[in-house]
Every structure is written in C-alpha cells, then in structure tokens.
Amino acid sequence: RRRQQQEELRGKQRPALRPGQCRKEKKKVNCKPKNQDEQEIPFRLREIMRSRQQMKNPISNKRRKTEAHVAFRKTLEKEAKGVEPDIAVPKFKQKKWESDGAYMRRMEQETQHVLFLSKNQAARRPEAQGTPEREKSEHRKAFQKRRLERVRQRKEDKAADRLEQELLQDRVKFGEVALQPPELTARPRKSTSRGQPGEKSLVLRVPLGPGSVSQPLSPSLARQRIVEEERARVVQAYRTLKKLKQQQQGPELSCLRPGKKPRAHL
C-alpha cells in the first residue's frame, strides 16, 4: 500500500506536458529489438564506420577556416559590386520540443520573409553575367597553354642534358692505359683566372713582330685612273689662274716708265 501511495504522489507531483512535448525516455541497455526481423548496427560499430569515413575524407580545421574566409570574401565582393546574393531557400524541420502550432507559425513567418525578399529584389540580367565566365574560360585556356609550354620546354631541356651527358661520357676500352693526365685546351665558362700578359694572340702582333716588313699595297687600276684625272684637273686650274694673273698685270706694266721696276705690294 505504501508503494502504491508513493507512486500516486509522484504522478501528481509531475508537471503536465505541453502539447507536442514528449517525455524523455531513459536509455535502455538490455532490451529486445523493436523489430524482430531487423538487427540494428551496434553503437560502437557505427562510431568505427564514421571514423573510417572521416579518415577517407579528412577535413582539417585550417581548411574549414580557409573555406569560410573564401565564402565571406566572395559575399563582400558581391556586395561591393552591387550584386545581391541569392535568397536562401529555407528547410523546414520540426524541432524536438516544438509543438505543431509553433512549427506551423515558424514556417509561415519564413515563407513570408522569402516572399518579401523576392518581391523587393532588384532586376537581374543573366545574359550580362555570362561574359565573365567566358573571359574566365579564356584566361584558363591561356593559363593551360602556358603550363603545357613550360612542361614541354622542361622536357626538351632534360632531353638535351641527357644527350650532352651521353656525348661527354668517356667509354674506356678493355686494356686501355692512360700514361698522363689529359691536357685542358679550353677554360671553363665561370673561371676567373686571367692569363699572363703577352700570351694573347692579338691581331697587331703579326705586322709589328720582329722581322716583319710592311709592304705597301698597290692601288687598283680604277684608283690610278681617278688619281690621274684629279691631278690633270688641278694642273689645268693652276695654269688658268696663272694666265689670268698675267693678263691683269699686263696693262699695269705698260703704264710704268721704262727702266723702273714695279713696287711689290705686301
């Protein structure tokens, strides 16, 4: 009787549940399955499967932060350009302690809000927004072309280096003996050592060397003819000038007295 009275008192002291609110059931450990034909996956096995799936597709915290920063930057760029973001479509799902009436009111409020945003949204031009994608595709094609060109150039350089190594490789025959080290006839490209003065074979050392006699070069026939014509022209001009001077001095000499010499004008 005492137990019955205590249970009745406990039932009276429990608060009444709100509509749509269910009582939290205790987790039972040793109990029969809900459906006899189906066997549920154990909790530990589900945890192992979930951890394996996460290991296959790992997403680090750093990557999540970068993705969030990229999304936030894109929204800021859209707002700066004047492009409004797309209206998010709400997904309705009744919460755990939410009643049916509250769930319906929340759905009504969210739908009214979406309708208000769609009515007050600025007019969009999807045909004008297609050009950036085309430009982006052209930039991407140019980038791919440059990348392929670099890869091809790298392959050609590797092939040239391999061929040079094969050509410069010495193949020693059987029984071949080296009696002395090889003589280097050419210096390396990056060598900073300079030779002794007077060792270079200059062009002027041949004619200025001891025992070398400079021989005059004989002019060609055309050159000789030009020189002769120039000489004849100069002689003729000199003779003409001298003749003119004599003609000018002739009347002056006739006017002078006989026996007097003309004065020399300085």
pLDDT tens digits along 42-67: 888 989 998 888 778 776 677 777 88
Q: Note the pLDDT of residue 264.
A: 47
User: Residue 122: which of 81, 74, 84, 89 has the closest Cα?
Assistant: 84
How many C-beta neighbours within 10 Å does residue 106 have?
Answer: 15
Q: Which of 54-68, 75-89, 206-220 has the lowest mean pLDDT?
A: 206-220
Higher pLDDT, 262 or 109: 109
* Nearest residue to 182 (alpha-carbon basis) of 195, 167, 196, 170: 170
194 versus 61: which is more confidently predicted? 61
Which residues are CB-neighbours of 75 under 8 A, at least 6 positions away?
85
Cα 48 from chain centre: 45
Give mean pLDDT, residues 80-84.
Answer: 62
Return the pLDDT at 242. 92
- pLDDT at residue 23, as a whole number: 52
Let me know: does 23 contact 17? Beta carbons within 8 Å.
yes
**pLDDT in the model for residue 143:** 87
Residue 70: pLDDT over 80 = yes
The sign of the torsion formed by the CA atoms of 198, 199, 202, 205 equals positive
Structure tokens given for 36: 């006899």
Q: Identify the pLDDT of residue 266.
A: 43
Q: Is 116 left (phi over 0), alpha (psi -120 to 50) or beta?
A: alpha
